[in-house]
């Protein structure tokens, strides 16, 4: 396992991190707390030291389980969490988004509650969870600075999603030099990742990228196949059928990344994202210990060559030679699409879509 710095925070994280949205929730399969703790310990054994949870996952339960699992490893691991949803006063209804609360006062209150559940004196990386650009006011930025000065957090981040990301928000995070910007980014969803790479390079910002959903909801790790039936509670089911149908065709165009057995497709999909220096970590959705065993090795498989990276980009630009609608051509915007149009992205703005979870 190799390690990279988050921004200029001085915090190093494993190139492959553990996305703890699978802990304390049932959206990615049922597992007991004991099973979750075993998985977290197994990840540590495989060199993973970056664990990313959120207060809304299981309405705080993910943080509790993560805190219990990592209690004996606190000085050896980097812990990230997210705040911004008011689950305290609102019940969860399916996979829909809860109301958000992002103010200076809420940032402090939510952080303190997260620390209580984690049973930790500080969190390494505190991320604003799906915050809209107009919600991150000077009071919010001041509250983050105060938490950092008091030692309750070590670094700041902004986590965006789910449908690829929000450009205006990410651009602000980069311009304000948040230490980390977390986005949905993979070989089948490159637009926003590529845009933020350009923004970081053009501004000279020190912000690092954290890539989520590197396997495009089961396509690039080949865990969702034509015969796979996704249950009603499976979070991958939000993708339209066309996404998977075209995705299986796109997958064949990427077979060259496997290099005759030197990399699995799942590993290559992570290595592709690590091919960019601006990427600090990739957080796949681990469902089993076998996933951890295979995907943690992505940090050590042969790196993609410049030619391979370019080929992946060119295939995407040509939609992998497929001329059918993939069902996912709408980028979400909180500013009526102004950010998307200004970026020159050839995508349809999702009308009325502001804050999906």
State pLDDT tens for residues 317-329: 999 998 887 766 6
Closest CA to 4 of 275, 230, 258, 288: 275
- Give the least confident one: 23-37, 215-229, 234-248: 234-248
pLDDT in tens, 145-192: 999 999 999 999 999 975 545 889 999 999 999 999 999 999 999 988
Q: What is the mean pLDDT of residues 290-315?
A: 96
Domain boundaries, the chain: 3-323
**What's the CA gap between 61 and 251, in Å, rounded?**
36
Look-up of token digits 């005759």? 260
Number of other residues whose CB lies within 10 A of the CB of residue 180? 26
| Per-residue pLDDT, 350 | 46
Give whole-number Cα distances, 42 to 32, 151, 228, in Å: 15, 29, 27
CATH class of the domain defined by 3-323: alpha beta
Closest CA to 144 of 110, 175, 172, 182: 110
The DSSP secondary-structure symbol of 284 reads -
Q: What are 268's two structure tokens?
A: 């290559």
pLDDT in tens, 43-81: 999 999 999 999 888 888 899 999 999 999 999 999 999
The sign of the torsion formed by the CA atoms of 329, 333, 338, 339 equals: negative
- Give the least confident one: 85-89, 156-160, 195-199, 295-299: 85-89
Residue 167: alpha-carbon gap to chain centroid: 15
Q: What are 266's two structure tokens?
A: 């799942």
């Amino acid at each position: 396992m190799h390690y990279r710095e988050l921004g200029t925070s001085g915090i190093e994280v494993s190139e492959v991190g553990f996305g703890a949205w699978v802990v304390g929730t049932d959206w990615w399969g049922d597992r007991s707390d004991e099973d979750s703790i075993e998985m977290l310990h197994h990840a540590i054994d495989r060199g993973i030291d970056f664990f990313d949870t959120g207060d809304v996952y299981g309405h705080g339960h993910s943080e509790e389980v993560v805190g219990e699992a990592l209690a004996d490893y606190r000085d050896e691991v980097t812990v990230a969490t997210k705040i911004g949803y008011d689950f305290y006063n609102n019940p969860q209804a399916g996979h829909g988004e809860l109301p958000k609360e992002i103010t200076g006062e809420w940032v402090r209150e939510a952080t303190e509650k997260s620390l209580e559940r984690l049973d930790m004196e500080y969190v390494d990386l505190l991320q604003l969870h799906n915050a809209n650009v107009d919600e991150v006011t000077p009071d919010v930025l001041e509250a983050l600075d105060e938490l950092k000065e008091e030692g309750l957090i070590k670094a700041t981040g902004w986590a965006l999603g789910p449908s690829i990301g929000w450009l205006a928000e990410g651009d602000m995070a980069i311009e304000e030099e948040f230490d980390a910007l977390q986005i949905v980014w993979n070989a089948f969803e490159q637009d926003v990742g590529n845009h933020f790479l350009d923004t970081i390079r053009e501004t000279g910002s020190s912000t690092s990228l954290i890539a989520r959903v590197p396997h495009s909801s089961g396509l690039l790790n080949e865990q969702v196949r034509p015969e796979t039936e996704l249950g009603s509670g499976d979070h991958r089911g939000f993708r339209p059928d066309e996404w998977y149908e075209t995705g299986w065709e796109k997958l064949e165009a990427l077979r060259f990344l496997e290099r005759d057995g030197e990399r699995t497709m799942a590993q290559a999909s992570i290595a592709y994202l690590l091919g960019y220096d601006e990427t600090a970590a990739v957080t796949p959705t681990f469902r089993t210990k076998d996933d951890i065993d295979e995907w943690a090795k992505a940090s050590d498989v042969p790196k993609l060559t410049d030619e391979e990276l370019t080929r992946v980009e060119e295939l995407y630009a040509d939609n992998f030679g497929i001329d059918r609608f993939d069902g996912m051509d709408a980028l979400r915007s909180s500013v009526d699409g102004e950010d998307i149009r200004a970026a020159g992205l050839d995508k349809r703005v999702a009308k009325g879509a502001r804050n999906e979870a």
